[in-house]
């Protein structure tokens, strides 16, 4: 029955589930942990070889596929879509579609918003608080793509609306860049990984930061003063998906894994372990009360409606953003 | 001590801050990690002394199996590094003239200069399905579809070899440099074959260099993270990666630190054992 | 006697540089043959051609009548004792000596016997288990010789084997080495730049200069009748005086010192006089000597080897004169003037 | 060449594969990167030769400004590393006895063994607002609020220093070892003060070691990625980071490779210039 | 003459080991004083105490009557020439020589003058710009001496400065050094383990053994009348024979060789005879000599320094005998038996 070589994020393939899957199907699973950039770089190096199943974010699929052709189209007839929230399937199909073909199945979603120490920064509730002098020296965010988008929303723009107009988008990014450079003096540091993100806010060195919901909740468990909140102008929603590399050697196993891990019980297990929200439709039955509480505490109905889902990034836009990020980092 | 260098007490006072600085720079960062490896959270939220982080290693089969696997790999790569670099070291010190030797030795420094990440990406390009090697083999018709080389133990081994070569070559070169050519000639004069000269004279003579090179490479490989991560296939295979996972994904500093020290201790024991078994001394390492 | 080694017109060229030029000589079986020459004259190159480590550019080497061309070092019936000794530092004394025998795949008991026997002959019984690094210079020397001799070579080649020892030990070892060779009867070819070593030990000495042999002779003849100016200057101590002119039976040095030296049928350019050739206050009736007067500049007391630095009165030429340790000269002191004579035949002109 | 070692043609045949292997291992990975640095996408989707990747560096102020900044830092850290390690090297080779020296030299290897990532985390623990140093200073009342040490140029400098120290110490130690003590005594006998001995005798004598250490450290620091990224804080854009961004975020491997080679070339030129200015020779480096 | 250096009961202890034991001596102004002793006897330690690099454990050092205790090396009016020479390899010849003067903050022109003058005195004009690594051994030697002498020390200390040179050059340099000292008039204290160097150059020699001085004397006295067995064995070549018994005027060696030696008022344990003390075929009428017969074992031809190894007929004792280079003994060969005599007073007993 072979092996399944899976490249994914930490926490997305818990050991218990891997064992269970191996027992059920007889397929051995080899897991490699990675992140978006590395995952794509690796697949590009082999033109989609080396792994049978990958888990990039949905917005990172289409432009990579157009340029490097590293994925197989998804045969949705093999996916048990009954298990998945329909809206998520729709979003995945739309965002990762290229030339009428779809390249991803949704798995986990979440948002980037604010992680705030409510005791020390009671008023912080929007992206714009990331340049609020009140919190000078106690602000942190990651100097990557989301901060550009978030800051744009915080300044009252809608960057996703400009995805059709490169020039206008560049102008907007320039404005955001200027803002972030101006306000750089308030920043404690730019965090670089999930653990620094959590460490900074837990140690009290930082009271306002932009971060991932799951991280915020993990921190909340240790210190109830800290929590994840949706920014007023909208949290940024991301979806991590399954994508099948072009040279996958075991496509069957890949689909088996997709269907397996999206079973409500299994999906709930992942969420309970990691706090990441799953797209599995009936998983909520199996979720811990704490996880549910996290969700309802941080997301009001309005917040959910206001989530800005990442759209597929048009090609060439990554360069604009990278340059902007360099500029901010280099500024004194 | 007899003040034999003509330097008096003022000299010691001068050097004291530097020594202190060195200790702060080298011992302290690890001391703090050491402490945190013994710290657990008490129910009251404070810190208590605990051995649980260390116990976790022995209780969980996956951890120590990984460790054994990693250690076995590191030993293998150390041996490979020796096999690959010894002839090079011999060539550079004993066969070609000094002039070329120092240029070629500079080549060996390239991996260090270019940085691990960049070279690892270089390897990705070479070993990939459409990489240089596969393209070449395909074009001469030796194979009809690309061989899987990247993200396998093969690519990881190459990557690790590449990074550790320098640290094997330099100590071996420095012992070989002091090998008097006439020892080789004397052995040959006494009727020894090339193989005998190699095994009975050259290898035993360069044993101190091989030992120090071996220790450094072993420790380097067992502690490396980037190459197994990027070039390796089965990620959970590498113990260091497990440590980082402890640090990064569960933010469990205590356990991560404990594992780090276990790594240092067990691998030091392996080295100690190897030294005892081969009858070597630690003296020349580090110089 | 049998010629064990015959060298004919041997030449060695390195890129554009000739290190050994057309050298020919024979060595008798059981003899002690030395090659004496200054540093860089080509001694080692010659030796390495005999042992087979480098190939001759021209000429032939015969050992026991057999042409050696193309035979690799390990197959030649010769062994070398290297200047650096080249003892294997990772082995003890007996392992060093047994090394060559083991390569011959002899039985262990046979090796043990031969090694013990050899160590006994070089007086190293009881040192079997010592590391070679724990030995004294003289003992290391003997291990190196034993290691080569145990192979029963037809010829033992020694490349300045005493070079690394200190003076006192060297004086001692050179006598020991001579006696050892005599006892063993092995043919030795000995390379050195120390004339005293060559003279004391050898049956025959070849003096080498710039890749050529200048003279091959017994030590005594070499000392008494140097064939060339180079040999006169290199072998034994000498006063060297450049000559300006010859006028009948008289020669004059550059300093202007005029000396009687009959019997020369050519115009010499340089004069060599050994310090011990000077006769202090020669008897009036002594014939065949040049006489002159010197003023003592300083006395270089050195026991039996005491000399004086003196200045010839007529010319100011400076010479070293041996001072016999007789009561007669005990009171000689700086500033004294002494009559001195030299037998004509001790005025070596070239 | 004269076959002076008693090894003949078979030996060269033996060593050939090894040499080839070395070239494949060292030159090839970079060769392929080199090619890709000259490749652009043509309109037809194929590959064309282009210099645009190299031009990008010079046309974009941010790139070369970052490079200059990085280079200036690297020079500074090289000098600092020299200042910090020279007394240590001197101490280890000339002041204390061999026995202790080899133990202390082993200490210097720790950063290498433990791996860059772990040590960098160690520093985070020490330098943080609630880290060891701040807690200590607060507790003795010397300060009333934590000093910013982490995520500043200070912490980055410390991290880089820490990683590069070893590579400065070893070559300096190896030249100092050959420094005859009597040179120092002779100078003192001739009336030289300690300072004069240091500046006129010891430093000039160890110049070859300082040079090779300096080159290695400079290249290492300029090529490092982890320490500036993790410890460097918000304004420490390192040129290497830009290169990785090219590889990872924008997938512009051609430009990334081009920048990599520019880094190698320009920094080599800086070294060359420094050697010329100080009248040093490259000969002893790498051995 | 003035005593420039006075040493009184000088002692140096290293942990648990006494390197210099209670040594006292004086050195006259302008003299050439040598300290001669085997390796490890404490010579360097003594010298380093005088120069101030190590502190004495006991005793006093006076230079020109001034107690040196506590004065650092750079303040003492002495300079050292090191065994390794310790030339500064990064400087050229003139920079080496100027080093000490620069430390005195002299004017540049003054330094230049002094350096040029000094280089001229050691015959190194024209070598100013050479790197010291480009010089020959003898030239390096002279640079080292010039570098110290230019400081105008009251005393120049030399620690085996010829040790690293090869034999021929050493023979030459020792004469040159003696002449240089004479010309300069600087007081030299010279350390060596080579007796020939000490004898040739010095006005006075102290023989040192295991941290103690055994004898301080002129070279001639040292050679003729060694005060102790150690001096007899160490200074000059000697045959050493252990004694078994004394019976009236006769002494008997361990080998059983009985020799007449009147005038001994103690029972000696060991006998030293210099090779040149043997008289070959002594005249019948010669008095005060012990006579015996030896068989020639081998002839060690070495020009003026030729010896024979011979075996005393009655006992088998082996001795080295100097062979004068007279026509008389030219035909002596191995196996010959010769009568030999030794003057009683040349039988040195201890
Ligand atoms: N492999 C070589 N290539 C070029 N020239 C060489 C080589 N080997 C020796 N020579 C030259 O040949 C000459 C003779 O060298 P050789 O080693 O035989 O001298 P030597 O008489 O043994 O001197 P020494 O007493 O110093 O050992 C020297 O000038 C040396 O430079
Ligand atoms: N710093 C020291 N600590 C302990 N022992 C020492 C020290 N320096 C010298 N010694 C010992 O003192 C003794 C005399 O040493 P010294 O160097 O004076 O001998 P030396 O006569 O100069 O010998 P050589 O001729 O070999 O130079 C030796 O046994 C040596 O081991
Ligand atoms: Mg030679
Ligand atoms: Mg000494």
Q: Which of D4, D6, D9 to mutate to test the interface with C (most CBs of C within 10 A)?
A: D6
> Do C330 and C254 belong to one domain?
yes
- Could you tell me if A266 and A287 are in contact, meaning their C-beta atoms sit under 8 angstroms apart? no
Task: Give dist(CA E44, CA E41) in Å, integer.
Answer: 8
Task: Give dist(CA D165, CA D169) in Å, integer.
Answer: 6
Residue with the nearest Cα to atom 11 of ligand 2? E19
- Specify the CATH number for the domain of residue C25: 3.40.50.300
Give, in degrees to the nearest 5, the angle at Cα C136 between C135 and C140.
70
- Residue C113 CB-half CA count within 13 A: 5
Ligand nearest to the CA of E45: 2
Task: Give dist(CA B33, CA B36) in Å, integer.
Answer: 5
Residues 243-302 (C) with a CB less than 8 A from some CB of B: none
> Do E229 and E246 belong to one domain?
no
Classify residue E52 as left (phi > 0), alpha (psi -120 to 50) or beta: left
Residue with the nearest Cα to atom 6 of ligand 2? E14
Model pLDDT for residues E69-85, shown as the tens digit of each residue = 989 888 899 999 998 89
Model pLDDT for residues E102-125, shown as the tens digit of each residue = 999 899 999 999 999 999 888 888
Exposure b/e, D106-138, CB count within 10 A at least 16 = b? eebbbbbbbbbbbbbbbbbbbbbbebbbbeeeb
Model pLDDT for residues E1-57, shown as the tens digit of each residue = 689 999 999 999 988 889 999 999 999 999 999 999 998 899 999 999 999 999 999
Question: In chain B, which residues touch A (CB < 8 A)?
Answer: 62, 121, 124-125, 128-131, 146, 148, 150-151, 229-230, 232-236, 241, 245, 247-249, 251
pLDDT at D287: 37
Per-residue pLDDT for B283 more than 60? no
Which of A78, A31, A67 is closest to A317 using CA atoms?
Answer: A67
Domain end position, chosen among C181, C203, C234: C234
Domain end position, chosen among E192, E208, E234: E234
CA E251 from centroid of its chain's CA atoms = 31
- Could you tell me if C317 and C259 are in contact, meaning their C-beta atoms sit under 8 angstroms apart? no
Model pLDDT for residues A40-95, shown as the tens digit of each residue = 878 887 778 888 999 999 988 988 888 888 999 999 999 999 999 988 899 899 89
pLDDT at E258: 92
Task: Give dist(CA C81, CA C181) in Å, integer.
Answer: 14
Spell out which residues of chain E touch residue C302, defining contact as CB-CB under 8 Å.
Answer: 196, 199-200
- Specify the CATH number for the domain of residue C309: 2.40.50.140
Mean pLDDT of chain E: 91
* Residue of C34, C45, C161 to test ligand 1 pocket, by largest number of atoms within 8 Å of CB: C45
Task: Give yes or no for D255 touching B (CB within 8 A).
Answer: no
- Could you tell me if C6 and C13 are in contact, meaning their C-beta atoms sit under 8 angstroms apart? no
Task: Give yes or no for C104 touching B (CB within 8 A).
Answer: yes
> Do E204 and E277 belong to one domain?
no
CA B47 from centroid of its chain's CA atoms = 35
Model pLDDT for residues D171-215, shown as the tens digit of each residue = 888 888 888 888 999 999 998 988 999 999 999 999 888 888 888
Phi and psi at residue D274, to the nearest 5°: -60, -40
> Do E29 and E171 belong to one domain?
yes
> Which of A219-233, B230-244, C222-236 is predicted least confidently?
B230-244
Q: Among positive and negative, which fits the CA dihedral C201, E36, E235, E348?
A: negative
**Average pLDDT, integer, range D236-247:** 78
- pLDDT band at D6, cuts 50/70/90? very low
Q: What is the DSSP letter of C292?
A: E
Full strand arrangement of the beta sheet holding A3-8: A28-33, A3-8, A53-54
> For residue B37, how many other CB atoms are within 10 A of its CB?
21
Gyration radius of chain C over CA positions: 24
Q: Determine the straight-line distance between the first and last CA of chain A, rounded to whole angstroms.
A: 57
pLDDT at C7: 95
Task: Give dist(CA B215, CA D169) in Å, integer.
Answer: 19
> Do C230 and C338 belong to one domain?
no
Residue D87 Cα, gap to closest chain B Cα (Å): 7
Model pLDDT for residues D58-117, shown as the tens digit of each residue = 888 888 888 888 899 999 999 999 998 898 888 888 877 766 676 676 667 666 666 666
pLDDT at B141: 84
Domain that holds residue E301: 239-349
Q: What is the DSSP letter of D91?
A: I
Model pLDDT for residues C132-162, shown as the tens digit of each residue = 988 888 889 889 999 998 998 999 999 988 8
Ligand nearest to the CA of E20: 2
pLDDT at D29: 67
Q: Please list the residues that pair with A113 across neighbouring strands.
A: A211
Helix, strand or coil, per DSSP, at residue D190: coil
Helix, strand or coil, per DSSP, at residue D144: coil
pLDDT at D286: 38
Task: Give dist(CA E149, CA E96) in Å, integer.
Answer: 12
Q: Among positive and negative, which fits the CA dihedral B238, B244, B246, B248?
A: negative
- State the alpha helices, DSSP H only, in chain B: 9-37, 52-59, 61-90, 98-114, 116-127, 132-139, 153-177, 181-189, 194-196, 203-205, 207-223, 226-231, 239-248, 253-278
Task: Give dist(CA D118, CA B260) in Å, integer.
Answer: 8
Per-residue pLDDT for D285 more than 50? no
CB contact under 8 A, D251 and A203: no
Residue with the nearest Cα to atom 5 of ligand 2? E14
> Do C146 and C254 belong to one domain?
no
Exposure b/e, E53-79, CB count within 10 A at least 16 = b? bbebeebebbbeeeebeeeebbebebb
Residue with the nearest Cα to atom 20 of ligand 2? E40
Per-residue pLDDT for B2 more than 50? no
Chains contacting chain A through 3 or more C-beta pairs under 8 A: B, D
Residue with the nearest Cα to atom 4 of ligand 1? C14
> Do C91 and C190 belong to one domain?
yes
CB contact under 8 A, D125 and B32: yes
Spell out which residues of chain A touch residue B128, defining contact as CB-CB under 8 Å.
Answer: 45-47, 49
Task: Give dist(CA C26, CA C216) in Å, integer.
Answer: 10
Helix, strand or coil, per DSSP, at residue E204: strand
How far, in Å, is the centroid of ligand 1 from the Cα of C35? Answer: 15
Residue with the nearest Cα to atom 18 of ligand 2? E42
Burial of residue D143, with CB atoms counted within 10 A of its CB: 0-12 exposed, 13-18 middle, 19 or more buried: exposed
> Do C264 and C168 belong to one domain?
no
pLDDT at C339: 93
Model pLDDT for residues A227-264, shown as the tens digit of each residue = 999 999 999 999 999 999 998 889 999 999 999 999 99
CB contact under 8 A, E14 and B2: yes
- State the alpha helices, DSSP H only, in chain E: 43-51, 93-103, 108-121, 137-149, 167-184, 195-201, 219-224, 229-234
Residue with the nearest Cα to atom 30 of ligand 2? E40
Classify residue D181 as left (phi > 0), alpha (psi -120 to 50) or beta: alpha
pLDDT at A38: 77
Burial of residue E154, with CB atoms counted within 10 A of its CB: 0-12 exposed, 13-18 middle, 19 or more buried: middle
Q: Please list the residues that pair with A244 across neighbouring strands.
A: A72
> Do E185 and E133 belong to one domain?
yes
Task: Give dist(CA D169, CA D171) in Å, integer.
Answer: 6
> Do C170 and C275 belong to one domain?
no
Which of E228, E267, E217 is closest to E245 using CA atoms?
Answer: E267
Per-residue pLDDT for B161 more than 80? yes
CB contact under 8 A, D91 and B240: no
Nearest to E175 among C178, C200, C309 (CB): C309
pLDDT at D267: 83
> Which of A10-19, A182-191, B32-41, C156-165 is predicted least confidently?
B32-41
Cβ partners under 8 Å of residue E80, min gap 6 = D185, D186, D189, E47, E51, E148, E156, E157, E158, E159
Ligand nearest to the CA of C55: 1
Nearest to E199 among C166, C196, C303 (CB): C303
Q: How many residues in chain A? A: 332
> Do E216 and E276 belong to one domain?
no
pLDDT at B106: 66
Per-residue pLDDT for B256 more than 70? yes
Task: Give dist(CA B178, CA D172) in Å, integer.
Answer: 19
| Ligand 2 nearest atom to the CA of residue E15, by list position | 4
Task: Give yes or no for B9 touching D (CB within 8 A).
Answer: no
- Could you tell me if C27 and C155 are in contact, meaning their C-beta atoms sit under 8 angstroms apart? yes
Protein residues whose CB sits closer than 6 Å to any atom of ligand 1: C 14, 17, 19, 37, 39-45, 193; D 2, 4
- Could you tell me if C100 and B190 are in contact, meaning their C-beta atoms sit under 8 angstroms apart? yes
Helix, strand or coil, per DSSP, at residue E332: coil
CB contact under 8 A, C53 and D2: no
> Which of B249-253, C11-15, C18-22 is predicted least confidently?
B249-253
Per-residue pLDDT for D3 more than 50? no
Task: Give dist(CA B34, CA D114) in Å, integer.
Answer: 13
Give, in degrees to the nearest 5, the angle at Cα D228 between D227 and D232.
110
Model pLDDT for residues E129-177, shown as the tens digit of each residue = 999 988 888 889 889 999 998 998 999 999 988 877 777 778 888 888 8
Q: What is the DSSP letter of B92?
A: I
pLDDT at B286: 38
Nearest to D245 among A199, A322, A331 (CB): A322
Contact flag for E and A (3+ C-beta pairs < 8 Å):
no
Exposure b/e, C282-300, CB count within 10 A at least 16 = b? beeeeeebbebebebbbbb
| Ligand 1 nearest atom to the CA of residue C41, by list position | 21
Domain end position, chosen among C182, C216, C234: C234
> Do C106 and C12 belong to one domain?
yes
- pLDDT band at C236, cuts 50/70/90? confident
- Could you tell me if A325 and D245 are in contact, meaning their C-beta atoms sit under 8 angstroms apart? yes
- State the alpha helices, DSSP H only, in chain C: 43-51, 93-103, 108-121, 137-149, 167-184, 195-201, 219-224, 229-234
The pTM of the full predicted model, rounded to 2 decimals, is 0.77
pLDDT at B6: 44
pLDDT at B3: 41
- State the alpha helices, DSSP H only, in D91-147: 98-114, 116-127, 132-139
Model pLDDT for residues B84-110, shown as the tens digit of each residue = 888 888 888 887 766 666 666 666 766
Per-residue pLDDT for B234 more than 60? no
Could you give the domains of chain D?
A: 61-284 (1.10.3720.10)
Task: Give yes or no for A193 touching B (CB within 8 A).
Answer: yes
Residues 189-218 (D) with a CB less than 8 A from some CB of E: 189-193, 196, 200-201, 204-205, 207
- State the alpha helices, DSSP H only, in chain A: 15-25, 36-45, 62-68, 86-95, 145-154, 166-182, 194-203, 213-222, 251-261, 264-274, 289-298, 301-305, 317-330
Percentage helix, strand, coil for chain E under 3-state DSSP, each rounded to 5: 30, 35, 35
Protein residues whose CB sits closer than 6 Å to any atom of ligand 2: B 2, 4; E 14, 17, 19, 37, 39-45, 193
Cβ partners under 8 Å of residue E126, min gap 6 = none
- Could you tell me if C305 and E305 are in contact, meaning their C-beta atoms sit under 8 angstroms apart? yes
ipTM of the modeled complex:
0.74
- Could you tell me if A108 and A12 are in contact, meaning their C-beta atoms sit under 8 angstroms apart? yes
pLDDT at D19: 66
Domains contained in chain C, number: 2
Residue with the nearest Cα to atom 22 of ligand 1? C44
pLDDT at A154: 92
Task: Give yes or no for E54 touching B (CB within 8 A).
Answer: yes
Q: Which of B176, B181, B185, B190 to mutate to test the interface with C (most CBs of C within 10 A)?
A: B190
């Amino acid at each position: 029955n072979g092996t399944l070589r899976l490249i994914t994020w930490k926490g997305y393939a818990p050991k218990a589930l891997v064992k269970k899957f191996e027992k059920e199907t007889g397929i051995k699973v080899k897991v490699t942990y990675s992140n978006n950039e590395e995952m794509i770089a690796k697949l590009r190096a082999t033109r989609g070889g080396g792994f049978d199943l990958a888990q990039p974010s949905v917005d990172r699929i289409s432009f990579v596929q157009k340029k490097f052709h590293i994925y197989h189209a998804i045969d949705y007839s093999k996916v048990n879509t009954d298990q998945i929230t329909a809206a998520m399937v729709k979003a995945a199909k739309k965002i990762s579609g290229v030339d009428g073909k779809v390249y991803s199945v949704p798995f986990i979603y979440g948002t980037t918003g604010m992680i705030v120490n409510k005791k020390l920064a009671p008023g912080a509730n929007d992206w714009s608080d990331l340049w609020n002098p009140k919190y000078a020296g106690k602000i942190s965010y990651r100097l990557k793509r989301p901060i550009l988008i978030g800051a744009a929303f915080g300044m009252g723009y809608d960057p996703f609306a400009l995805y059709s107009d490169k020039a206008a988008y560049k102008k907007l990014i320039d404005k955001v860049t200027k803002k972030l450079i101006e306000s750089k003096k308030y920043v404690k540091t730019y965090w670089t990984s999930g653990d620094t993100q959590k460490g900074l806010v837990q140690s009290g060195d930082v009271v306002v930061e932009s971060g991932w919901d799951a991280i915020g909740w993990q921190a909340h468990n240790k210190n109830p003063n800290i929590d994840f909140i949706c920014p007023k102008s909208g949290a940024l929603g991301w979806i991590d998906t399954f994508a099948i590399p072009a040279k996958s050697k075991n496509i069957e196993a890949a689909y088996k894994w997709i269907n397996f891990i999206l079973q409500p019980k299994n999906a709930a297990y992942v969420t309970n372990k990691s706090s990441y929200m799953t797209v599995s439709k009936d998983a909520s039955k199996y979720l811990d009360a704490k996880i549910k509480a996290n969700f309802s505490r941080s997301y009001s109905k309005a917040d959910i409606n206001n989530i800005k889902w990442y759209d597929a990034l048009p090609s060439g836009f990554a360069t604009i953003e990278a340059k902007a990020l360099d500029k901010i980092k280099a500024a004194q | 001590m007899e003040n034999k260098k003509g330097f008096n007490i003022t000299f010691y006072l001068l050097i004291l801050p530097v020594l202190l600085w060195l200790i702060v720079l080298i011992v302290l960062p690890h001391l703090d990690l050491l402490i945190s490896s013994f710290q657990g959270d008490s129910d009251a939220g404070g810190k208590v002394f605990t051995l649980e982080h260390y116990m976790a290693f022995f209780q969980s089969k996956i951890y120590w199996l990984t460790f054994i696997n990693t250690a076995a790999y590191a030993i293998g790569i150390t041996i490979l590094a020796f096999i690959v670099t010894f002839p090079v070291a011999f060539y550079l010190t004993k066969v070609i003239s000094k002039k070329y030797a120092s240029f070629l030795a500079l080549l060996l420094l390239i991996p260090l200069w270019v940085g691990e990440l960049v070279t690892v990406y270089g390897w990705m390009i070479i070993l990939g399905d459409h990489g240089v090697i596969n393209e070449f083999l395909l074009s001469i018709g030796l194979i009809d579809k690309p061989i899987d080389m990247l993200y396998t133990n093969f690519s990881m081994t190459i990557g690790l070899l590449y990074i550790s070569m320098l640290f094997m070559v330099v100590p071996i070169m420095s012992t070989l440099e002091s090998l008097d050519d006439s020892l080789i000639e004397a052995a040959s004069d006494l009727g020894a074959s090339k193989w005998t000269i190699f095994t009975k004279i050259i290898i035993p003579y360069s044993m101190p260099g091989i030992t120090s090179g071996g220790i450094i490479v072993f420790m380097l490989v067992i502690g490396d993270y980037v190459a197994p991560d990027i070039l390796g296939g089965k990620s959970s295979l590498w113990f260091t990666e497990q440590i980082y996972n402890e640090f990064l994904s569960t933010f469990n500093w205590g356990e991560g630190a404990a594992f780090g020290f276990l790594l240092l201790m067990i691998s030091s024991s392996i080295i100690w054992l190897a030294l005892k078994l081969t009858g070597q001394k630690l003296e020349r390492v580090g110089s | 006697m049998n010629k064990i080694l015959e060298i004919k017109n041997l030449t060695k060229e390195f890129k554009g540089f000739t290190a050994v030029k057309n050298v020919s000589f024979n060595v008798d079986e059981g003899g002690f043959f030395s090659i004496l020459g200054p540093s860089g004259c080509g001694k080692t190159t010659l030796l390495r051609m005999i042992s087979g480590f480098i190939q001759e550019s021209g000429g032939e080497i015969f050992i026991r009548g057999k042409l050696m061309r193309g035979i690799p070092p390990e197959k030649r019936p010769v062994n070398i004792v290297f200047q650096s000794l080249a003892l294997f530092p990772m082995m003890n004394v007996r392992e060093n000596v047994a090394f060559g025998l083991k390569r011959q795949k002899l039985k262990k008991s046979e090796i043990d016997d031969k090694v013990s026997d050899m160590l006994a002959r070089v007086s190293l019984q009881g040192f079997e288990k010592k590391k070679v690094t724990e030995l004294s210079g003289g003992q290391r020397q003997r291990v190196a010789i034993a290691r080569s001799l145990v192979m029963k070579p037809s010829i033992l080649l020694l490349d300045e084997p005493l070079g690394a020892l200190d003076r006192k030990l060297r004086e001692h070892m050179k006598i020991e080495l001579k006696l050892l060779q005599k006892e063993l009867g092995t043919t030795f070819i000995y390379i050195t730049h120390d004339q005293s070593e060559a003279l004391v030990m050898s049956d025959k000495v070849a003096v080498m200069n710039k890749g050529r042999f200048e003279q091959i002779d017994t030590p005594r003849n070499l000392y008494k009748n140097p064939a060339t100016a180079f040999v006169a200057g290199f072998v034994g101590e000498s006063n060297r005086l450049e000559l300006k002119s010859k006028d009948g039976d008289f020669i004059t040095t550059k300093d202007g010192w005029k000396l009687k030296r009959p019997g020369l049928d050519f115009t010499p350019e340089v004069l060599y006089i050994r310090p011990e050739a000077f006769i202090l206050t020669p008897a009036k009736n002594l014939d065949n000597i040049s006489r002159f007067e010197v003023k003592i500049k300083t006395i270089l007391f050195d026991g039996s080897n005491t000399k004086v630095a003196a200045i010839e009165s007529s010319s100011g030429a400076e010479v070293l004169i041996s001072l016999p340790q007789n009561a007669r000269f005990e009171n000689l002191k700086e500033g004294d003037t002494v009559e001195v004579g030299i037998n004509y035949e001790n005025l070596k002109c070239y």
